[in-house]
Amino acid sequence: MFDPSYAASLAARLAEKPRFTGTPGERRGAEIISGELKAAGYDVRREGFRVETYRVVEARLESLNPSFKVPCSPVGFSGETGEEGVEGDLVYIEGADPALLPSQSGWIGLSSVRPGKEEWRELVGKASGLVIAESNACRLPSHVSIPYEWREKYGSLPAVYVSYSDAYRLLGSKRVRLVLRQEYRRSLAFNIVAEKRGYKYPDEVILVTAHYDSVRGVRGAIDNAGGAAFAVALARALAQGEFKRTLRVALFSGEELGLRGSQAYVKKHRDELGEIKLVVNLDVHGDAIGRNASVVTGPKELRNYVESKAKIAGLNLQVSENVMSSDGTSFAQEDIPALNFYRSCGTGVYMHTIRDNGRFISEQGYALIGPFVEALLRELLDAEKLPFKREVPSDLKKKVDEYFSRWRV
């Protein structure tokens, strides 16, 4: 039986430390997860993969006229300024709107949104630096990165995040200096995989996934210690029974750097992907007060099935057909239906900031959705025939392709 208090306490334990890919904290997370899966009776496999990571050496932003300092958080992989930094007039460019971009170069942009790939390419070489305002006034500066490929292909644009109120203050600044120093390196990261073979249809796999890495320096409680603990708690609940199909659980690293762990998994197992009939992906879970939601990247039949099961269980599940920015999408790209579950909650606004710290993780976060997903998995693992086709309809497939083309160079 699914144990909500076990899931909550494991989530809290994972969230004691940041788990940024390539750091000792990530290794600690992997060891905790492996240990729990082994204790539940699984053989655990570690699958290493290479991933580009970054380390921040120094990040400093100051207004020179008038003079004041501004706390900031670097955008990983964006670029470096050297110790002396870059200095320039501060220009408010909104969403890199062409009408606001100066024709000469050498200025520092203040942007209201994180630029997409096209805007990034447009700004490199024109701006000497970029300051991005948080779009929500409650947020501390984000600890995120751009895909490292952007810098390799389009060039460097040292960028930092600042809070909304500091950005507002910067509107009154004429000239700023930005110092950003970071180092890039290729690290070894690990996906953790456990499996329970089916006795009748062993070559049909239901794959449960969650990422256990966090963004840099953030404890990543709801995102995604909560989901990783959810996946382990499901594996534990299902460890005893025998099922017709194979249950596989994969905990990915490198998600926050661009779904790198699930991409590595898909690449490594390309020849065996045909056996995976469904991916159940868990991202953003564990918060006490919230609502449960599902994003289906798969056939209509799958959506109908999940909706009916939720009604029967008395669960107000918000179901939509869409693409989620999470590991399930790496599989949807290979025509494997992805069923994502997440919890929309009060602390969602803290995601990717140091305030996602586990303060509000509690067993209420799993009380309904935990047993629901467990029952769903039991039924699918034991069904004589799955109640949906293994396909991603063309309209959703198009959205999946668009999702990847937004950041792939």
For 68, residues 6+ apart whose C-beta sits below 8 A from its C-beta are 62, 169, 173
Q: Which x/- pattern over 175-214 shows residues binding Zn ion (rule: CB under 5 A)? A: ----------------------------------------
Closest approach, Cβ 327 to Zn ion, in A, equals 8
Report the distance separating Cα 66 and Cα 51, nearest Å: 42
Q: Give 134 or 283: the residue with its C-beta nearer to Zn ion.
A: 283
Please, what is the minimum distance in Å from the beta carbon of residue 329 to Zn ion? Answer: 12
- Where are the extended beta strands (E) located within 66-94? 67-70, 73-74, 86-94
Residue closer to Zn ion by CB (options 246, 281) is 281
CB of 223 to Zn ion, least distance (A): 4
Give residues 363-382 in contact with Zn ion (rule: CB under 5 A).
Answer: none
Please list every residue from 208 through 247 that binds Zn ion, using CB under 5 A. 223-224
Name which position in 283, 287, 327, 356 contacts Zn ion (CB under 5 A).
283
Q: Are strands 276-282 and 201-211 parallel, antiparallel or unpaired?
A: parallel
Min separation Cβ 14 and Zn ion, Å = 13
Q: Is 14 helix (H, G, I), strand (E, B) or coil?
A: helix
Neighbours of 94 (CB within 10 A): 14
- Least separation in angstroms between residue 332's CB and Zn ion is 16
Q: Does 81 bind Zn ion (CB under 5 A)?
A: no
Nearer to Zn ion, 115 or 254 (CB): 254
Could you give the CA distance from residue 210 to residue 194 in angstroms, rounded to a whole number? 13
Part in contact with Zn ion (CB under 5 A); list of ranges 50-58, 201-209, 278-286, 394-402: 278-286
Amino acid at 183: E
By C-beta, is 117 or 211 nearer to Zn ion?
A: 211
Question: Closest Cα partner for 388 from 132, 204, 190?
Answer: 204
- What's the token pair of residue 231? 């996946």
Cβ within 8 Å of residue 253, ≥6 positions away = 21, 26, 30, 51, 189, 190, 191, 211, 212, 213, 260, 261
Tell me how far, at minimum, the Cβ of 283 lies from Zn ion, in Å. Answer: 4
CB nearer to Zn ion: give 119 or 283: 283
Compare residues 204 and 223 and give the one whose CB is closer to Zn ion: 223
Q: Compare residues 96 and 259 and give the one whose CB is closer to Zn ion.
A: 259
Torsion of CA 254, 256, 260, 262, to 10 degrees: 90
Cβ 261 vs Cβ 252: under 8 Å: yes
The number of beta carbons lying within 10 Å of the beta carbon of residue 404 is 15
Q: How far is the CB of 234 from Zn ion (least distance, A)?
A: 17
Q: What is the x/- site pattern for Zn ion, positions 91-130, by CB under 5 A?
A: ----------------------------------------
* DSSP state letter for 142: P
- The nearer residue to Zn ion, 228 or 400, going by C-beta atoms, is 228
Query: Whose Cβ is closer to Zn ion: residue 73's or residue 173's?
Result: 73
The site that binds Zn ion (CB under 5 A) totals a number of residues, namely 3
Stretch that binds Zn ion, among 28-36, 156-164, 275-283, 313-321 (CB under 5 A): 275-283
Residue type, 306: V
- 8/144 with CB nearer Zn ion: 144
CB of 309 to Zn ion, least distance (A): 24
Residue 224 CB, nearest approach to Zn ion (Å) = 4
Burial profile 154-191: b = 16 or more Cβ within 10 angstroms, e = fewer: bebbbbbbbbbebbeebeebebbbbbbbbeeeebebbb
Distance in Å, CB of 373 to Zn ion, minimum: 17
Q: Are 221 and 361 in contact (CB under 8 A)?
A: yes
Q: What are the residues whose beta carbons fall under 8 Å from the beta carbon of 113, sequence distance 6 or more?
A: 94, 95, 132, 135
Per CB under 5 A, the segment of 7-15, 67-75, 108-116, 277-285 that binds Zn ion is: 277-285
Query: Which residues sit at the interface with Zn ion, rule CB under 5 A?
Result: 223-224, 283
